[in-house]
Structure 1
Amino acid sequence: MAKISQAQRLRDLLEDAIIAGRFTPGERLDPDALALEYACSRTPIREAIQQLAMSGMVQVVPKRGTFVTRLGVTELVERFEVMAELEGLCGRLAARRITDDERAALSEALKACRARAEEHDANGYYYDNSVFHHCIYAASHNHFLAQEAARLHALLQPYRRLQLQVRMRVESSLAEHEAIVAAIEAGDGLRAEQLLREHVMVQGERFNDLVASMHALDGG
């Protein structure tokens, strides 16, 4: 097993913190505070931040500092469009290639999402929703595709989290998950692709809800 460097470990911790909403889009990351929090020197913190900048999760602004990436509406829609296509392709391939073990894992992820929805636990659903999608990426059996989907999924996670705060979105998302699983289990790749594309795409009322949530995040 390859040894994980301190910078890589810190990168993973910071990425998890951003995805979990501890650091919000537009927030400045203070290297001194981070070094204190993670009990390390500034050098691995700087290296971790550089890695996050390469992935697009943070932006380094000369003479101002490092900020969690805040996407404008146009940039956000563009990324959701690409995400929808990647997820759709993962679903189409998964419908053909999913193994029995992967099918069981997907079923368990769906059950977890259902339980969270019944508890009206949007935050818990957010985490189980991520597991659900990663099950589909893995079942595509295309490592490069799964890697790219996971990378963009991570970048968009703070915004997907906002979406789940909208009234009835969790219930709608669960119904969409159930239809996606049914299509994959039936081996219907085209339907799985279509359903996943529609599940991820932000348009119409969902687009308006997302923009409103972004304004709320800005305090506007």
Structure 2
Amino acid sequence: MTSRSEILREKIEELIAVGALAPGQHLDETELAARFGVSRTPIRETLIQLASMGLVVIRPRRGAVVAELGPHQLVEMFEVMSELEATCSRLAARRMTPEDHVRLLAAHQACREARDASDPDAYYYQNEAFHEVIYAGSHNQFLFEQTRNLYRRLRPYRRLQLRVRGRVGASWDEHDAVVQAILSGDGEKAGQLTRGHVMIQGQRFADLMASLPQLAAGALVPS
């Protein structure tokens, strides 16, 4: 059963992920408490949890702010993310059960429907579910937890990428190649394709850097 503190953490985490609470923004405990109808104590505890995840920075005597990532740190984190996800895909190709394959295909189809609807917000959430199916398909709980934690840390930036023109369609095409490699049991190919899908470099990096002001302005709040 989900506890009240977990629900509160997930709500604030989601506000950070969609840019409603922008990188560098001060997090006022009193305002957040009023917003969610709770006292300042659970807000303070939630901010500490989010700080442990790297989503919030707590500064002595100055309070908490939403964490910011510089270009170099972003590249480093996406580099690690790509290797973790590549390992998940490589293991998933070897270890997924027929039931796992059904879940993978269902998640892939949900992404396709969001793509066809030209809905980047819907695609973002289905994309997250798709990747988690592959994490789980590795049948390595430690790897699953570490990969999901880093995914959460990068959520605002992964979401932002999907706002770049043509990225949703390209993302789905890349998913499709990964799915085929996993279903065929080709772990090395699945890993290689996933690494390329997640790694941010070249034009994708330039596009993300150009879009960062939108995130800082809170422009990712769904309409």
Cα distance, 1:23 vs structure 2: 1.6
The runs of 5 or more residues in structure 2 that have no matched partner are: 218-223
Question: Which residue in the other structure is 1:28 paired with?
Answer: 26
Provide the residue aligned with 2:112 in structure 1.
114
| Residue number in structure 2 paired with 1:90 | 88
Amino acid at match of 1:48: T
Q: Any stretches of 5+ residues in structure 1 without a counterpart?
A: none
Count of aligned pairs: 217
Q: Is the 8 A contact 2:57 2:65 kept in 1?
A: yes
Deviation at residue 33 of structure 1 after TM alignment: 1.3
Q: CA deviation at 1:215?
A: 3.5
Separation of aligned partners in 2, 1:106 and 1:21: 28
| CA deviation profile, 1:145-199 (whole Å, cap 9, x unmatched) | 0000000001101001110010100010000000000000000000000011000
Residues 65-80 of structure 1 correspond to what in structure 2 (within 5 A)?
A: 65-80=63-78
* Partner residue in 2 for 1:127: 125
Aligned-residue CA RMSD (Å): 1.4
Q: Aligned-pair distance for 1:133?
A: 0.3
Match of 2:195 in 1: 197
Q: Distance in 1 between matches of 2:28 and 2:182?
A: 44
1:69-109: CA deviation from partner (whole Å, max 9, x where unpaired): 11000111110000000000000000011112211111111
Q: Select the residue among 97, 100, 105 that pairs with 1:99.
A: 97
Match of 1:136 in 2: 134
Structure 2 counterpart of 1:54: 52
Q: How far apart in 2 are the matches of 1:128 and 1:57?
A: 22
- The answer to which structure, 1 or 2, has the higher relative contact order (CA under 8 A, 6+ apart) is 2
Residue aligned with 2:163, SS? coil
One-letter amino acid of the structure 2 residue matched with residue 55 of structure 1: M
Cα distance in 2 for partners of 1:167, 1:82 equals 25
- How far is 1:17 from its partner? 2.4
| Structure 1 residue 29 displacement after superposition | 1.5
Q: Kindly indicate whether the alpha-carbon contact (under 8 Å) linking 1:24 and 1:158 is maintained by their aligned counterparts in 2.
A: no
Deviation of the 1:27 alpha carbon = 1.8
C-alpha distance in 2, partners of 1:66/1:102? 40
Q: 1:64 matched to which residue of 2?
A: 62
User: 1:162·1:213 contact (CA, 8 Å) conserved in 2?
Assistant: yes
Q: Could you tell me which residue of structure 1 aligns to residue 220 of structure 2?
A: none
The AA in structure 2 aligned to 1:51 is Q
Which amino acid is the alignment partner of residue 44 of structure 1? P
Distance 1:99 1:211 in 2: 39
CA displacement 1:43-71 (0-9 Å, x = unmatched): 11111110110110111122332111110
Compared CA separation, residues 218 and 17, structure 1 to 2 (3 A): closer
The CA distance in 1 between the partners of 2:210 and 2:166, in whole Å, is: 16
Moved more, 33-42 or 76-85: 33-42
Specify the SS of the correspondent of 1:63. Answer: coil
Identify the range of structure 1 (67-76 vs 82-91) with the bigger mean alpha-carbon deviation: 67-76
Deviation at 1:11, TM superposition (A): 1.6
**CA distance in 2 between partners of 1:106 and 1:25 (Å):** 33
Residues 25 and 158 of structure 1 are in contact (CA less than 8 Å); yes or no, is this contact kept in structure 2? no
Report the Cα distance in structure 2 between the residues aligned to 1:218 and 1:116, rounded to whole angstroms.
26
**8 A Cα contact 1:113 1:125, kept in partner:** yes
The Cα of 1:8 is off from its aligned counterpart by 3.2
Task: State, as a whole percentage, how many aligned pairs show the same letter.
Answer: 49
